[in-house]
Amino acid sequence: MKVPLLDLKPQYEQIREEIEPELLEICRSQMFILGPKVAECEAAVAAYCGAAHGVGVTSGSDALLVALMTEGIGAGDEVITTPYTFFATVGAIARLGAKPVFVDIEPDTFNLDAAKLEAAVTPRTKAIIPVHLYGQMADMDAVMAVAEKHGLVVIEDAAQAIGSERNGRRAGSIGHYGCFSFFPSKNLGCFGDGGMITMQDEARAKKAVILRNHGSDPKYYHKLVGGNFRLDALQAAVVTVKLRHLDGWTAARQANAERYRKLFAAAGLEAAGKVTLPVAKTNRHIYNQFVIRAENRDGLLAHLRGQDVGVEIYYPVPLHLQDCFRDLGHREGDFPESERAAKETLALPIYPDLTDDMAARVVDCVAGFYGTGT
Ligand SMILES: Cc1ncc(COP(=O)(O)O)c(C=O)c1O
């Protein structure tokens, strides 16, 4: 039995009848850029996230970029974030000429360790970007406390965490900005690239709206240099339709996580110290990924792929050790938890349509590798 890491085709079959007429309507209207479909999507996503405003943009990467641009962050500024994230988090900081300053992660959640945050603040620090990795929120209470004490802006990288909650508050509703990705593999994915910035503050939302359209306000008059960061109507329509199903899909991901926990317990793999399962801390974890730590991770990876089980490493090289950030002067050992996570972690299939048999097959194959199978 093949078990893919992600298969979106069954999901498309569930929503085909809702989505295809929407897409056809847009094709017939020939209204592709911004417009009412984007406005509808922005209102729906903002409300879902508990934010007052939503600004649709071209991608999650551009959501981060536009949020930083809205704050005027650039050369001479420092932005604190985690080195254990997708490249886009740190790429956005570097593209604006600002300096990424890293804080290591908590070993259990893989999120930025807020206890280490304040020591990284300098007179040049302008912002903090906590990342809600794999679908679980970072410790936002602690992040906001440091931010408020030092007058810093907080940009939540919620690309993997739409609908995630911590102490009853949603991702994208706590910081000054929430940045979301609609990349197809995300829990709320569109049919290409797309993203959204959520905000509570109206002035920030207005500025982001201007920046996503070349800083044009009114048309052809530019007080700011922005870019083309516009979300298109086709992607917005897909997101609006899919959003109605998101809670059901999240529940299916959570049920898959519970199923894995039972299967791994039955196989005795955690007790034997072979794997460590993800923890869900005072959170609504939305399981964009189900990431385990594994003994001999690379051996297990090769074994599972050899058995047609789709797995992936998110992420094999922490950002402080990437070639393009060599100028920051970091070396191995600077952020030991991030480096250890990069060596030990492995994402297993968790998508909503994963079946019981498929989950059992994954755990059987893991048990087979460690010689603990039944
Ligand atoms: C944590 C994180 N930040 C940012 C992004 C960037 O989003 P996008 O691929 O839509 O540009 C992603 C997704 O790829 C991500 O996982």
Confirm or reject: Cβ of 61 under 6 Å from ligand 1.
yes
User: Cα(181) to centroid of ligand 1, in Å?
Assistant: 6
One-letter amino acid for residue 85 of the chain:
T
Confirm or reject: Cβ of 85 under 6 Å from ligand 1.
yes
Over residues 325-365, the pLDDT tens digits come to: 999 999 999 999 999 999 999 999 999 999 999 999 999 99
> Tokens standing for 285?
């974890």
One-letter amino acid for residue 37 of the chain:
K
Over residues 88-139, the pLDDT tens digits come to: 999 999 999 999 999 999 999 999 999 999 999 999 999 999 999 999 999 9
Confirm or reject: Cβ of 34 under 6 Å from ligand 1.
no
> Residue 231 in contact with residue 34, Cβ under 8 Å?
yes
> Virtual CA dihedral for 66, 171, 86, 348, nearest 10 degrees?
-150
Q: Is the pTM of this model over 0.75?
A: yes
pLDDT, position 60: 98
List b or e across 266-276, with b for residues whose CB sees 16 or more CB atoms inside 10 angstroms. ebebeeeebbb
- Among 160, 179, 193, 312, residue to substitute to test ligand 1 (most atoms within 8 Å of Cβ): 160
Confirm or reject: Cβ of 315 under 6 Å from ligand 1.
no
Q: What is the pLDDT along the chain (374 residues), one digit of tens a residue?
A: 999 999 999 999 999 999 999 999 999 999 999 999 999 999 999 999 999 999 999 999 999 999 999 999 999 999 999 999 999 999 999 999 999 999 999 999 999 999 999 999 999 999 999 999 999 999 999 999 999 999 999 999 999 999 999 999 999 999 999 999 999 999 999 999 999 999 999 999 999 999 999 999 999 999 999 999 999 999 999 999 999 999 999 999 999 999 999 999 999 999 999 999 999 887 899 999 999 999 999 999 999 999 999 999 999 999 999 999 999 999 999 999 999 999 999 999 999 999 999 999 999 999 999 997 54
The pLDDT mean for the chain works out to 97
Q: ∠ CA(239), CA(314), CA(146), 5° rounding?
A: 80
How many angstroms separate the CA atoms of 202 and 205, rounded? 5
Confirm or reject: Cβ of 189 under 6 Å from ligand 1.
no
How many angstroms separate the CA atoms of 111 and 105, rounded? 5
